[in-house]
A and B are shown apart, each in its own frame.
Chain A
Amino acid sequence: MSMEEQDILRSAVIEFAEKNIANSAVAIERTGITDDLAVSLAAQGFLGAALPTEVGGAGIDRQGYAVILKELASYSPSVSVLVLITGSIAGRLLEKKADSLLGRIATGEESFAVSLWPATDGSGSAGELKISGNKIRGTRRYVIGRPGGCLVAVTDDGKLVLVKSGFSLSDEDHHLSFRGLKYSVASIDSAHYEVISSNGAETMERILSGMDLEISAIALGIARGALAKTVDYTKVRKTFEKPLKDYSTVANNISRLMSELSVAEIALQGSGEMNETEMLMLKVHATDLAKRATKYSLQYHGGYGYIEDFGVEKFYRDAVGLTILLENQAADGMRLSKEVFGEKSGYL
């Protein structure tokens, strides 16, 4: 996508977000993404942006998709991750299995939920999920996405399954990040399922590691959202009779972070020329920047930053959660080291 096209798309996303998200970003964190918002995202083409046109998606390229994810994340990281789950994760998990299903997901007719847990953690705390006879039974925790449609999860013996009905989702409480997605526990007892892959954990891992650019975009959106609020706040908030922005520590820290962010955004805009290694490098930089930017943002908002009404603390939580829920930092470290050294490195 050309720079001009990216700019047009960016304006469209911002216009949408100003109208549909800006005033409800705090409510999204408290009570979840509403069906109305999901329908609006679908109608605007964002929900199925990354899905192919043959199944009803917008078939947008990764640069354009990154624009959508980043701009949405600057208002509500939860909304951005919903688009990621529906577009990238559903699209990649289901690409060879269920075109009509993907089409319904793209238009918002069908919702999609996924338990990412086994892809990045081997602790066994995800619950038990087994196939026995013609049925799949058990539970999966940390299900994210919207209820009411289909569910993808990995069984205890490593199969990646698509459960089309016969499961319910109950809310888990108050998790660290992306609270708008309302994490659930899936209770499954179904004969209506399909095995997508016999090596589920690897498939999930591959999908996650193939989203470096998308995760970069969300991280940069989080940093942009937090820093934009901080710039506005430090202009008007006074201490010792001077605006906060007049103090060199505040101004320089925010300005340096803004510089880092702008450089990364330029890289993201030109990501059409990037190879996989460069995308990984951008992700490592972007996720680290998001954590630092949100930490300063909260700090400079003082007590107000600590309460959800100001919309800053969510960025702080989400920046950290992003690197745990949607990234395998240990695996990324190994991938990066291998690229840098040209051989397996950094494993001891």
Chain B
Amino acid sequence: MDFEFPEDIVKAREKAAEFARKEISSNKALMYDREEKFPEELKKKAFEYGIVDYTNPWSMLVTIEELCRADPGMGIAATVSLFGAEVIMLFGNDSQKTKYLGAVQNGEMMMGLAVTEPGGGSDVAGIKTTARKEGNRYIINGSKMFITNGTMADFFVMLVRTSNPEDGKRHHGLSTFIVPGNLPGFSRTKITGKLGVRATNTAELVLNNVEVPAENLIGEEGKGFYYIMTFFNISRAYVAAQAIGIAQGALDRVLGYLSELQSKGASSTITEEIQMTASDIATRIEASRLLTYKAASYLFQFRPNPTITSMSKAYAAETAVFATEKALEITGYSGINGDLERFFRDAKIMEIWEGTSEIEKLIIWRNLIKEAQGGN
């Protein structure tokens, strides 16, 4: 067993860190946060620099870590323009892949995943948006909430209900469609006033008799829930990487602050309690990394392990919240007046999006008990 990354992934991490040093500064991050503005230029440069490449998932994982370490809002914004692409990669047909994937992979287009609705976040099978088939098109009605890239995406992978399940199983009868954002009847409203990740674009979508050609159906009708759950298994590893980046960024700043205190001859103020807290943050980050890399290892070899993935996402998210809160406690006024207050606000979403920590723990439990009862 070797815990070291191969050279190409090490280089990908270095390249991402170099890009972050060059393009992400505290002042820029503060500006995008304050103005709730998407860093379009940064996203463009990230593609030009060659660090956004989801066909190389290991490189992407460490890139996300490094960019979020510099600034979570900007880091996520720079790497999230392909959000949901895996659904098309895995389940779309050749025509859909040609038409949509190439353009998002080279940064010309942006996409989003539209699953969550105003009345339901965790309960994916409870969605109310419907698609009714009429001839060779589907008519979509409903609304989606908290959609990343919502007002900017050129198209969405959208989960809708196409039939009412006769067997009473709510996760049956759901389907996924590619829905362009400019269709008549499709309105999008940016959500402002978020606690954190304010450089990312989030919106509410309303669909009123939106007509989508039948060719935009991804895979088979009725299998959408399965496709989306498969996607979440992948995306949760990336969210774990975001969370690790946030926690590492917080630790970097704590160590910078404490080093400065030491150099000013104020070592006596760095009590044992502070030393141990910093050690706890570092230990949790390392544990999060090991879990996440293990989850990614299963995933990227096409044998996903949902238990490990959920463990990694939940644990890394909790680590981000823990690390940023403790970092603020240690750094006090200095932290509250610098990057750390933003990191603290950004961190909390990690425990909420892409499956709340509660949902992750329920997934872990279900798999554990299934295994204990002899399932596989």
Tell me whether A348 and B337 are in contact in the complex, defined as CB-CB below 8 angstroms, given that A307-B194, A313-B195, A316-B348 are known contacts: no
Task: Return chain B residues, CB-CB under 8 Å to A117.
Answer: 333
Q: Are A291 and B325 in contact (CB under 8 A)?
A: yes
Give Cα A148–Cα B34 distance, bound, in whole angstroms.
26
Task: Return chain B residues, CB-CB under 8 Å to A7.
Answer: none
Chain B residues 134-161 with CB under 8 Å of chain A are 145-146
- Which of chain A's residues has its CB closest to B274's CB? A330
Q: Are B195 and A306 in contact (CB under 8 A)?
A: yes
Contact with B along A85-109 (1 / 0, CB 8 A): 0000000000000000000000000
Name B329's contact: one of A121, A141, A323 (CB within 8 Å).
A323
B33 an interface residue at 8 Å Cβ cutoff?
A: yes
B272 an interface residue at 8 Å Cβ cutoff?
A: yes
- Which of chain B's residues has its CB closest to A301's CB? B352
Q: Which of B80-88, B115-123, B177-185, B208-216 contacts the other chain?
A: B115-123
- Which of chain A's residues has its CB closest to B269's CB? A330
B351 an interface residue at 8 Å Cβ cutoff?
A: yes
- Which of chain A's residues has its CB closest to B349's CB? A306
Q: Are B334 and A121 in contact (CB under 8 A)?
A: yes
Task: Return chain B residues, CB-CB under 8 Å to A5.
Answer: none
Give Cα A307–Cα B123 distance, bound, in whole angstroms.
20
Q: Are A249 and B358 in contact (CB under 8 A)?
A: yes
Task: Return chain B residues, CB-CB under 8 Å to A121.
Answer: 332-334
Task: Return chain A residues, CB-CB under 8 Å to B345.
Answer: 176, 317
Name B348's contact: one of A142, A291, A306, A333 (CB within 8 Å).
A306
Give Cα A117–Cα B345 distance, bound, in whole angstroms.
22
Task: Return chain B residues, CB-CB under 8 Å to A309.
Answer: 193
Task: Return chain B residues, CB-CB under 8 Å to A295.
Answer: 321, 348
B356 an interface residue at 8 Å Cβ cutoff?
A: yes
A56 an interface residue at 8 Å Cβ cutoff?
A: no
Give Cα A320–Cα B342 distance, bound, in whole angstroms.
13
Task: Return chain B residues, CB-CB under 8 Å to A298.
Answer: 195, 348
Chain B residues 323-371 with CB under 8 Å of chain A are 325, 328-329, 332-337, 341, 344-345, 348-349, 351-353, 356-358
A155 an interface residue at 8 Å Cβ cutoff?
A: no
Contact with A along B184-199 (1 / 0, CB 8 A): 0000000101111000
Task: Return chain A residues, CB-CB under 8 Å to B26.
Answer: none
Interface secondary structure of A, over-half rule? helix
Most buried by B among A299, A316, A323: A299
Name A303's contact: one of B30, B329, B353 (CB within 8 Å).
B353
B271 an interface residue at 8 Å Cβ cutoff?
A: yes
Contact with B along A301-339 (1 / 0, CB 8 A): 011011111000100110011011100011001000000
A132 an interface residue at 8 Å Cβ cutoff?
A: no
Task: Return chain B residues, CB-CB under 8 Å to A316.
Answer: 195, 348
Tell me whether A142 and B337 are in contact in the complex, defined as CB-CB below 8 angstroms, given that A176-B344, A302-B122, A323-B329 are known contacts: yes
Most buried by B among A121, A324, A325: A324
Q: Are A320 and B195 in contact (CB under 8 A)?
A: no
Q: Are B123 and A123 in contact (CB under 8 A)?
A: no
Q: How many residues of B contact A (CB 8 A)?
A: 42
Task: Return chain B residues, CB-CB under 8 Å to A320.
Answer: 325, 328, 344
Tell me whether A123 and B145 are in contact in the complex, defined as CB-CB below 8 angstroms, given that A176-B344, A330-B269 are known contacts: no
Q: How many residues of A contact B (CB 8 A)?
A: 43
Q: Are B325 and A303 in contact (CB under 8 A)?
A: no
Tell me whether A302 and B121 are in contact in the complex, defined as CB-CB below 8 angstroms, given that A176-B344, A241-B126, A317-B195 are known contacts: yes
A206 an interface residue at 8 Å Cβ cutoff?
A: no
Distance in Å: Cβ of A35 to nearest Cβ of chain B: 24
Give Cα A176–Cα B346 distance, bound, in whole angstroms.
12
Contact with B along A159-190 (1 / 0, CB 8 A): 00000000000000111110000000000000
- Which of chain B's residues has its CB closest to A239's CB? B123
Task: Return chain B residues, CB-CB under 8 Å to A303.
Answer: 116, 121, 145-146, 352-353
Tell me whether A240 and B126 are in contact in the complex, defined as CB-CB below 8 angstroms, given that A299-B356, A316-B348 are known contacts: yes
Distance in Å: Cβ of B134 to nearest Cβ of chain A: 30
Task: Return chain A residues, CB-CB under 8 Å to B321.
Answer: 295
Q: Are A120 and B333 in contact (CB under 8 A)?
A: yes
A198 an interface residue at 8 Å Cβ cutoff?
A: no
Give Cα A305–Cα B146 distance, bound, in whole angstroms.
12
Contact with B along A103-145 (1 / 0, CB 8 A): 0000000000000010011010100000000000000011000
A347 an interface residue at 8 Å Cβ cutoff?
A: yes
Task: Return chain A residues, CB-CB under 8 Å to B353.
Answer: 303
Contact with A along B261-296 (1 / 0, CB 8 A): 000000001011100000000000000000000000
Most buried by A among B328, B335, B341, B351: B341
Task: Return chain B residues, CB-CB under 8 Å to A347.
Answer: 271
Distance in Å: Cβ of B58 to nearest Cβ of chain A: 30
Give Cα A176–Cα B341 distance, bound, in whole angstroms.
6
Q: Are A299 and B351 in contact (CB under 8 A)?
A: yes
Give Cα A321–Cα B332 distance, bound, in whole angstroms.
9
- Which of chain B's residues has its CB closest to A347's CB? B271
Name B196's contact: one of A299, A306, A330 (CB within 8 Å).
A306
Q: Are A175 and B341 in contact (CB under 8 A)?
A: yes
Distance in Å: Cβ of A305 to nearest Cβ of chain B: 8
- Which of chain A's residues has its CB closest to B146's CB? A303
Q: Are B325 and A240 in contact (CB under 8 A)?
A: no
Give Cα A332–Cα B348 distance, bound, in whole angstroms.
27
Chain B residues 49-88 with CB under 8 Å of chain A are none
Q: Are A174 and B351 in contact (CB under 8 A)?
A: no
Distance in Å: Cβ of B23 to nearest Cβ of chain A: 22
Task: Return chain A residues, CB-CB under 8 Å to B191.
Answer: 307
Distance in Å: Cβ of B122 to nearest Cβ of chain A: 5
Distance in Å: Cβ of A142 to nearest Cβ of chain B: 7
Distance in Å: Cβ of A85 to nearest Cβ of chain B: 17
Tell me whether A330 and B352 are in contact in the complex, defined as CB-CB below 8 angstroms, given that A123-B334, A241-B126, A307-B191 are known contacts: no
- Which of chain A's residues has its CB closest to B118's CB? A304
Q: List 27 A-B contacts (CB under 8 A).
A: A30-B193, A123-B333, A125-B333, A175-B337, A176-B336, A176-B341, A176-B344, A176-B345, A177-B336, A239-B122, A240-B123, A295-B321, A295-B348, A302-B356, A305-B352, A306-B195, A306-B196, A306-B348, A306-B352, A307-B191, A307-B195, A308-B193, A320-B344, A329-B332, A333-B273, A346-B273, A348-B271
A sample of 16 more A-B contacts (CB under 8 A), given A298-B195, A306-B349, A307-B195, is A30-B193, A123-B334, A125-B333, A238-B120, A295-B321, A295-B348, A299-B356, A302-B352, A303-B116, A306-B195, A320-B344, A321-B336, A324-B328, A324-B335, A325-B336, A346-B273
